[in-house]
Amino acid sequence: MSFDLVLFGGTGDLTWRKLMPALFQAFRHGKLPPGGRILSVARDERSDDAYRAFIKERFGEVDSAKRPSDEEFAQFAELVHYRRMDLSRPEDYAGLKQWVEARDADTTVLFLATSPHLFPQIVSQLGNVGLNGPKVRVVLEKPLGHDLASAQEINRVVRAAFREEQALRIDHYLGKPAVQNLMALRFGNVLFEPLWRRESIANIQITIAESLGVGTRGDFYDRTGALRDMVQNHALQLLTMVAMEPPSRNDADAIRDEKLKVLRSLKPFTEESVARDVVRGQYRAGNCDGARAVAYHDEVKVPSGSTTETFVALRTEIQNWRWAGVPFYLRTGKRLAERDAQIVVNFRPTPHSIFPGVHRPNKLVIKLQPEDGLELHLLAAKGSGQSEALAPVFLDLDFDKAFAENRVGAYERLLLDAIAGRLNLFVRSDEQEQAWRWVEPVLAAWRNDGTPPRPYAAGTWGPAAASALVARDGFAWAEEQ
Ligand code: BG6
């Protein structure tokens, strides 16, 4: 299947940091369909060779395991082309169309890796020039909007030029292997599904912790904050995957219909519940990853009096028969104690204990990163005495090790899916809008509330109020258990 992949924003960070390394990995693994062309477009004039040299140099900054040798790069570079485009000029789109049509590949994927404020312009120009035929797909990177109204506006423009199934919204968390495994765990095995409900589960915790600060993205981040950057998309997508009903088929709309139902069942926030159930924080200086870290408001391009949150913890519920009353805790932040993304399913205690001592209930930990695996925490008898207390033990499945050869990174997976037209792991516009609808009352309450985010020291697990939020229900975050 021949393909043309056009990367708008061809010299930008996303392209050289994530997309080119992912494409190279796909190429190295022999997964990129033959007959492909990758065309980067950007504003300045350069030749194909100059662009290839630029990408080659940038590969020096990616993970060494993902760096090509000279020979590998030379082969990969044959697929890579460059074209200058002024995104405001209709004739430049006409030129692009000619380039695409001259070969008439089986499929054309137009990846918008530019700043999102350019999406409406690019998408409508593509429509005007007719680069929106049935073989064309357009891929949109987050952030898709700043709130519900702006997300709806982007969707309106996209819909005017492309059908829903031609528009692929990326949430790279859905491309992480652990998230695929969550589907496999729930719907490929009989073991957990009968327990996957309020009768057996006490609470579910979703943590996406980062030890990095905002780095060089201070200006973007300060306009965005953790709720928009991580909760509205990544954390909520994980929640839908954990909580959805079994889809009837492994196909995009069957899955996305179920995810949408979860988003629609989330308990809506009110001003009162935001004050009670949402904690926002901002990091101060501290020690992180073995080095001194500056406070958020001392980061480059961050205004000194900023009240943008770098941490959010919240409690919500899903109002349906399966989950009524089960707290879902979501937590994310920058400059936390470690880089750690995981979903912890805490089961209820046994109804009656015949063993001495106090026992921890079972728990299942779905580890997204840095490791990719599963831990099932159980209790066992050591066999050393007659009335001994039970001892905690756990089964530890390391998927990186088990499937080392075949594991693919999130962007590699999503790019290959975009080329093949597999939509399961892309977010549909109604899901995305519903997620915005749910976070909007939180944004509004924060706007009306004059109090700044709670401070926390870099290198910790966030403000103490986040622990109190969970403790109030008689539970504790995984690292405190
Ligand atoms: C991005 C956010 O979507 O996800 C970043 O904009 C964040 O702020 C990143 O650092 C985290 O992704 P990952 O895959 O490194 O956990």
355 contact partners, CB below 8 Å, separation of at least 6:
381, 388, 389, 390
- In this structure, the residue with its CA closest to atom 15 of ligand 1 is 210
Tens of pLDDT along 361-381?
Answer: 999 999 999 999 999 999 998
DSSP E strands: which ranges in 228-381?
278-284, 286-288, 291-293, 311-316, 328-333, 340-347, 363-369, 373-380
Length of the chain, in residues = 481
Spatial CB neighbours of 115, under 8 Å, sequence gap ≥ 6: 9
If you ran DSSP here, which 8-state letter would residue 228 be given? Answer: I
H/E element holding 20?
helix 20-28
Q: Which residues contact 431 (CB under 8 A, 6 or more apart)?
A: 240, 256, 259, 260, 263
Residues with CB under 6 A from ligand 1: 142, 172, 210, 229, 341
- Distance CA(427)–CA(437), nearest Å, equals 15
| Tokens found for residue 239 | 């929640």
State the helix-helix crossing angle for 236-243 and 252-265, rounded to 10 degrees: 100
Residue nearest to atom 4 of ligand 1 (CA): 230
Nearest by Cα to 345 from 320, 388, 375, 322: 375
Which of 144, 210, 220, 427 gets mutated to test ligand 1 (max ligand atoms within 8 A of its CB)? Answer: 210
Please write the tens of the pLDDT for every residue from 314-327. 999 999 999 999 99
Phi, psi of 186 (to 5 degrees): -75, -45
Question: Cα(98) to centroid of ligand 1, in Å?
Answer: 36
Calculate how far, in angstroms, residue 366's C-alpha sits from the geometric centre of ligand 1: 18
Centre of ligand 1 to C-alpha 234, Å, is 9
- Looking at ligand 1, which atom is closest to the CA of residue 369? 16
DSSP state of 205: E
Catalytic residue list contains 234: yes
For tokens 């597999």, what's the residue?
422
pTM: 0.95
Tokens of 248: 């009837």
Shortest-distance Cα residue to atom 14 of ligand 1: 173
Mean per-residue pLDDT pooled into runs of 10, the chain (481 residues): 96 93 94 94 96 95 88 96 97 97 94 92 96 97 91 95 96 93 94 96 98 92 96 98 96 97 98 97 95 96 95 98 98 97 97 86 95 93 76 89 79 96 96 98 94 97 98 96 89
How far does the centroid of ligand 1 lie from the alpha carbon of residue 230, in Å? 7
Q: Are the beta carbons of 119 and 157 closer than 8 angstroms?
A: yes
Q: Which atom of ligand 1 lies closest to the CA of 214?
A: 8
d(CA 479, CA 341): 12
Residue 186 near residue 247 (C-beta atoms within 8 A)? no
Determine the atom of ligand 1 nearest the C-alpha atom of 142.
3
145 CA to middle of ligand 1, Å?
Answer: 17
Distance separating alpha carbons of residues 161 and 127, to the nearest angstrom: 5
Q: Which ligand 1 atom lies nearest to the CA of residue 341?
A: 16
Q: How far is the CA of 242 from the centre of ligand 1 (A)?
A: 20
Closest CA to 389 of 346, 356, 362: 356
Residue 405: the pLDDT is 66
Which ligand 1 atom is at minimum distance from the Cα of 208?
16
pLDDT of amino acid 382:
80
- In DSSP notation, 403-445 reads TGGG---HHHHHHHHHHHT--TTSB-HHHHHHHHHHHHHHHHH
**52: which 2 tokens?**
């290839």
Q: Is-contact 348 224, C-beta < 8 A?
A: no
Contacts of 302 (CB under 8 A, 6+ apart): 214, 218, 219, 221, 222, 296, 308
Distance 333 CA to ligand 1 centre (A): 10
Q: How far is CA 402 from the centre of its chain?
A: 24
Nearest atom in ligand 1 to the alpha carbon of residue 221 is 8
Rounded Cα distance, 241 and 182, in Å: 7
Please name the residue whose Cα sits nearest to atom 13 of ligand 1. Answer: 173
Active-site hit among 172, 234, 297, 377: 234
